Amino acid sequence: MLPEEIKGLPLWKKAGNFVLTDPVFREQESLSAFSRMGTDLVFLAANGRYADRIPLMREIRSRHGGPRLVLVGKDDSYEYVRKAFLSGAADYLTDPLFGETVERTIRRMRDQAVRERPLCGIRTEAGFVAERLLSEEDADVPCLCRSLAGAVERYAEAFDLNARILLREAEKQVYQELAGRKPWLKEFLPPDSFLNPAGLHTWDSAPMLQQWDRDFRGVRQIIRKYRIVGAPSAVPIGNYILTHVDEKLNLEKISEDIFMNKNYVGNLFKKHAGRSVVDFIKEAKVDRAKVLLLDEKRKIKEVADDLNFSGEEYFRKVFKQKTGLTPTSYRSRVKICGFFGQLL
């Protein structure tokens, strides 16, 4: 299909804000051309190749991420089309192209871009919130909550979107940003706690801000609890324990796996963490148990086994020693206060 034919499409004439770039015939020149022209949508000729055999597709997805790829080929078999989508194509069209088909594709890609624009803004705001929560400096949590809520409201109004959907996206993105920057946090933060029930039924900022304030303070408390300040060589010890918290841990295993002398590990960690490795392990396992106990179908013995305690009774003893509650009492309390409510 020629560029002149595309410009003659009804959608193109009606929109008036599309820019059609010149065709690029040499694939090795495509990347620089796309970057220079700020391309949003790319129609790529397969020329008989399977999608996973087209290096340009991988390059565009890895370097740019933004342009949507529409692969154009003559093979309409299931396997061929499947590989096209698995390789990152947003759509697949069979040659020869017809105006109506191209117009539907452009319209769909445009609508997706419009929907995703506010989500990109929400992700940026969520990234800032996560960065401040992870910062060693004091974070103004109420201010972070208001900022995130303000972004949700602005994008909802500007793009005529459901605020509840953006709210869910904001909470999910904060969780993903935190877990992405501190992978061990995934073991200590239940994802469902970031889906605020108070804000999903109505756009009422007061209960939403109250919930976020409590949740974000709880996250900050966990982060601070396991932050090790001091010699950089002590940090891998703590990170190892937090990342492998479900495993059977002791000083010998940790020392062996991080290639350090056992006595050196014990002395170094106590000096900079302010507590012994054994106590740190107990603390981490109890906090991990709090997440596992949220599943009411999971028996107390199963939690003890999953965390490699020597027995259920010993687990109960350590849990009460660290929290002042039995595992059963904790379950009852968390029903009333919520996961982060019982932390504060």
The CB-based long-range contact list for 17-26 (8 Å cut-off, 24+ gap) reads 18/106
Average pLDDT estimate for 193-202: 44
Statement: residue 280 has pLDDT above 80: yes
Domain ranges of the chain: 3-97, 116-215, 232-337
Please indicate whether the domains covering 3-97 and 232-337 agree at the CATH topology level: no
Average pLDDT estimate for 108-130: 81
| Distance separating alpha carbons of residues 1 and 153, to the nearest angstrom | 42
pLDDT digits (tens, 9 = 90+) for 25-34: 776 667 677 6
pLDDT band at residue 201, thresholds of 50, 70 and 90? very low
Statement: residue 338 has pLDDT above 60: yes
Torsion, CA 93, CA 97, CA 99, CA 103, rounded to 10: 20
Per-residue pLDDT, 247: 94
pTM of the model: 0.67
Average pLDDT estimate for 293-312: 94
Could you please report the per-residue DSSP string of 199-237? GSSS--HHHHHHHHHHHHHHHHHHHHHT---S-GGGHHH
Query: What token pair was written down for 154?
Result: 């602005």
Average pLDDT estimate for 162-187: 85
Phi, psi (rounded to 5 degrees) for 296: -70, -20
pLDDT digits (tens, 9 = 90+) for 2-17: 666 776 777 666 665 6
Buried (b) or exposed (e) across 200-237, using 16+ Cβ within 10 A?
Answer: eeebebeebbebbbbbbbbbbebbeebebeeeeebbbb
Cα 313 to the chain's mean position, in Å?
A: 37
What architecture (CATH level 2) is domain 3-97?
3-Layer(aba) Sandwich (3.40)
Annotation: CATH topology of 232-337: Arc Repressor Mutant, subunit A (1.10.10)
Which uninterrupted H or E stretch holds 70? Answer: strand 68-73
Statement: residue 202 has pLDDT above 50: no
pLDDT digits (tens, 9 = 90+) for 206-261: 777 888 888 899 889 898 888 875 567 788 899 999 999 999 999 999 999 988 89
